[in-house]
Amino acid sequence: MMDKPPIEEKTREEVEAERKAKRAAKQERKKAALEKQKLDGLENQKKSKESSTESTLPIDSVKVSKPKPDVSKTAQKKQPTQKIETTKKVINVKSNKNKENIVVKNVEEIKPTAKSVNLVKKSTGPVTHKVKLFNHLYIDSISLLTENKLKINSGKVHPSFIKLGVQMRTSVVAGSNARCLAFLYALKQTISDFVTPEHKSFARSFEEHLGPAIDHLMACRPFSVSMNNAHKSIMWHVKRLPHNISDGHAKEALETVINNYIYVQIHMAGKAICIAAQNKIANGDVILTYGYSSLIERILTNAHSNNKQFSVIVVDSAPWYEGRQLLHRLVRNNIKCTYVLLSATSFIMTRATKVLLGAHALLANGYVMGRAGSSQIALVAKHFNVPVLVCCETYKFTERVQTDSIVFNELGDENDVMPKEQWLNNRYLTPLGLRYDVTTSDLITAVVTEIAILPCTSVPVVLRVRPN
């Protein structure tokens, strides 16, 4: 067998020199790859800028930049690779300078149009002051005002309804009972001035005549539940009038219906509720109430006239401060009163022995719809074990079911919440004034009605028994 040739062993210095050579070669490769990437990126930028400027530049500027790429092509054929790279860089710098000058001119030409766009956006800014969650509650007041002007000028709306619409919009007439009474009195005046056209029945022609007036009132402010129920009851009697009835007899019949409705459903019902609620007021009681309610005022003044010794805590809240009206009327009758805001409810509730609240409506699921803040009063009273009595006539009961204050509500005027100068030009600030909230049935002890003192869950039974 042949012996293997001896392997020459490398010294330590030779091994270190080989390693250094390999590292230097790797670094050179990396540098070459990075330079290639940079050159590719510059070429791509050049192409994109050329494509963008060709659409905006005039024809003369494009003609000037044409011969430059030809020089680079001839340079690529004649010179070696290193010289080609340097020439490319020089050409790119020159072409970029020319393009920058042209782009600056184009931007200066475009600037005035951008200013006009900004002006248009600023002018349309105030229209976008809406909360998206309550977007369905906003009303296009401008279009409604124009429609109302056309209806008023055409003579289709009775002057009594025009006057009522202005009073409701400016909150001169506020509250469920006051609005319902004003609506019924306006309806009486309309009936007395109505003349049936020839060859038409009274019921159909009057219903057509009343439509524009109802639309006008709805545009000024949405109907309350009490107004809706009163309107349905009166129209139920109108539709059941005989076809051959004369105008005089029809007007007398409808006026008696309206008078009976006012006397029975509002005045006598309020009197019966006053008697029932006074029996629950004892000497030494501290009664807490919220906002203003004509029925609560009547209960407290009658109880004081019957020589019952008690004091009242009036809780109020922004932006309308309706409790001040109740405070002035109670103090005028020599009733001891304390006035606080809604934020102090948890502090003042420790002194109260009973809570009396008014109601806008009672829903079929037993929930109470009242002015915004009533649910907070009931919740704090429940925490301190203070009984909550809601005083409400049965003509405010409705078959509608509602579990929150979002689906159906009414928006107040934004200028009442905050001055217009503070929010009109600020697109990050939107005032919101909800008029009502919904209180759950478990927070209410009982409902005082003209029938009896009932639990909230008995609303469907009353609706079933109630006539019409």
What pLDDT, in 10s, does the model give residues 410-428?
998 888 888 888 888 888 8
Q: What is the pLDDT of residues 276-285, one digit of tens each?
A: 999 999 999 9
The pLDDT, as a whole number, for residue 150 is: 59
What lies within 8 Å, CB to CB, of 62 at 6+ separation is: 54
Least confident of 245-249, 329-333, 350-354: 245-249
Residue range 147-160: mean pLDDT, rounded: 74
pLDDT score, position 77: 42
Higher pLDDT, 5 or 123: 5
pLDDT of residue 49 exceeding 90, the answer is no
Q: Is residue 51 scored above 90 in pLDDT?
A: no
Query: If you average pLDDT over residues 305-325, what whole number do you get?
Result: 95
Higher pLDDT, 307 or 155: 307
Q: What are the backbone angles phi and psi of residue 339, rounded to the nearest 5°?
A: -115, 125
Task: Measure the CA–CA gap between 341 and 320, rounded to whole angstroms.
Answer: 12
What is the average pLDDT across 15-43?
Answer: 84
Q: Is the pTM of this model over 0.85?
A: no
Cβ atoms of residues 173 and 182 within 8 Å:
yes
Lowest mean pLDDT segment, chosen from 146-150, 232-236, 246-250, 265-269 = 146-150
Cβ(98)–Cβ(65) below 8 Å: yes
Return mean pLDDT, the chain.
82
* Percentage of the residues of the chain whose pLDDT score is greater than 70: 77
- In the predicted model, is pLDDT for residue 239 greater than 60? yes
Which residues lie below 8 Å from residue 352, measured CB to CB, with a gap of 6+?
286, 287, 288, 313, 381, 384, 386
pLDDT of residue 39: 82
Side-chain half-sphere of 270: how many Cα atoms within 13 Å?
20
Q: Who contacts 133 (Cβ-Cβ below 8 Å, separation ≥6)?
A: 406
Q: Where is pLDDT greater, at 174 or 44? A: 174
Count, residues in the chain:
468
Mean pLDDT of 170-180: 93
When pLDDT is averaged across residues 444-465 and rounded to a whole number, the result is 93
**Cα(163)–Cα(220) distance, integer angstroms:** 11
pLDDT at 107: 39
| Model confidence band, residue 56 (pLDDT cutoffs 50, 70, 90) | very low
Cα–Cα distance for residue pair 390/358, rounded to 1 Å: 6
- pLDDT exceeds cutoff 60 at 365: yes
How much is the pLDDT for 62? 39
Beta-carbon contacts of 232 under 8 Å, excluding residues fewer than 6 positions away, are 468
The more confident residue out of 35 and 96 is 35
Arithmetic mean of pLDDT, 245-267? 95
Kindly state the average pLDDT of the residues 295-309: 95
Instruction: Quote the percentage of the chain above a pLDDT of 90.
Output: 57
pLDDT band at 7 (very low <50, low <70, confident <90, very high): low
Per-residue pLDDT of 69-125, as tens digits, reads 444 444 444 444 444 444 444 444 444 444 444 444 443 444 444 444 444 344 444
* Residue 50: closest CA among 109, 84, 92, 85: 92
